[in-house]
Amino acid sequence: MVNADALIRACALPGTQLIRLLGEGTFHQFHGGLSTSSPDKAIDVLKRGAMDYQRRRGMPLRTTRTPGWLFDARTNRRRSA
């Protein structure tokens, strides 16, 4: 949950502009660990992580609602997301 927390906290900083890259995603995965060995284990890991996150941060883990910019490297242009 560290990567998600870092993104949420960074987007909340005053004057911060989120820039999303067209065609790219952001995620973190433990290869060969509990989160990839089976779908049931992955769900359990995410549920426990979300509960721990809420306990530590006092708010539920959720996606950022910051719209940011969408940058298209093929055209070298940005557009509103």
CB 20 within 8 A of CB 70: yes
Residue 66 binned pLDDT confidence (cut-offs 50, 70, 90): confident
Q: What is the pLDDT of residue 51?
A: 94
pLDDT, residue 60, reads 92
Q: Tens digits of per-residue pLDDT, 35-54?
A: 556 777 778 888 898 999 99
pTM of the model: 0.64
Amino acid letter for position 65 = R
Average pLDDT over residues 16-38: 69
How many residues are given for the chain? 81
